[in-house]
Amino acid sequence: MPPARTQTYLHLQDPKTSGPRRTIPWRTLMPSPANPVRFGAVELKVSQKDLSKRRFKAPVSALNYSLKLISARSYSEKQIAEKLIKKGFSTEDIGKTVKKLKEYDYINDESFAKRFIENGKRKLIGRIKLSYELYKKGLNKSLIDKVSEMFYTEDEEHDIAIKAMDKKKVSLIKYRENKLMFKKKLYNFLQGRGFSSNIIEDILNSAL
């Protein structure tokens, strides 16, 4: 599939000769306010207003499109490739672009995983859920396990699970008199946040 590029054509006609209109690809002209295009007696001037409204568009490369994406937020290698596929770029262009982005460290799955996990810890999310989300974003299991061991230890997860439980208790106050129901609600909540059953049972048995 060819790259999805925008090509704008200019349709020009010399008013003195009333001859046929001539179609010229915009990319071959590249006019600017300081460099008008001439066609016979006609001078085509491009105002700054026209440029600001993007009435004349130069082709967008896969690399430029990718740089625009990653300037806004982080992406994994798989996510960038999927974005380029949806945009219609060729397999060859996508491969070259991803390779170039990796060379300059603009995309780095290990760094991406580290940031993702650190953000998840702040949101009180367990390792199981974070690992699953990273897997969906295209990271391999060995890399996920490696980064998790480095930046999200079991002791940290235990402490974060306690914080998540304490925060949830407030909204479950009406179940406090029914200890079994209260414990079940907390268990389901923590499980949904991605904490392991061992950690959940440990903190519930200690707290209740």
Distances (CA, A) of 198 to 125, 135, 187: 15, 22, 11
Residue 15 reports pLDDT greater than 50: no
| pLDDT classification of 125: cutoffs 50, 70, 90 | very high
CB neighbour burial string for 144-162, b if at least 16 within 10 angstroms, e if fewer: beebbeeebeeeebeebbb
Number of helices (H), then strands (E), in the chain: 11, 4
Which residue type occupies 99? K
Percent of the chain whose predicted confidence (pLDDT) is above 70: 72
pTM: 0.68
| pLDDT classification of 50: cutoffs 50, 70, 90 | very low
C-alpha torsion sign, points 71, 77, 79, 80: positive
Q: Does residue 26 or residue 96 have the better pLDDT? A: 96
Domain ranges within the chain, ordered by starting residue? 9-52, 61-107, 108-208
Distances (CA, A) of 63 to 59, 71, 87, 106, 201: 12, 12, 12, 11, 49
pLDDT attached to residue 52: 46
Residue 41 reports pLDDT greater than 80: no
Question: 184 is written with which tokens?
Answer: 């079940």
Q: Which helix (H) or strand (E) holds 73?
A: none
Tell which residue, 45, 128, 61, 145, has the closest CA to residue 101: 61
Distances (CA, A) of 200 to 112, 168, 178: 28, 13, 19
Coil, helix or strand for 49? Answer: helix
pLDDT by residue (tens digit) across 52-72? Answer: 443 434 457 999 999 999 999
Residue 23 reports pLDDT greater than 80: no
Residue 203 reports pLDDT greater than 90: yes
pLDDT by residue (tens digit) across 138-197? Answer: 999 999 999 999 999 999 999 999 999 999 999 998 888 898 999 999 999 999 999 999
Residue 4 reports pLDDT greater than 50: no
CB 112 within 8 A of CB 76: yes
pLDDT attached to residue 20: 47
CB 180 within 8 A of CB 111: no
CB 179 within 8 A of CB 143: no
Question: 55 is written with which tokens?
Answer: 């009435």
* CATH number for the domain formed by residue range(s) 61-107: 1.10.10
pLDDT attached to residue 176: 84
pLDDT by residue (tens digit) across 66-119? Answer: 999 999 999 999 999 999 999 999 999 999 999 999 999 999 999 999 999 999
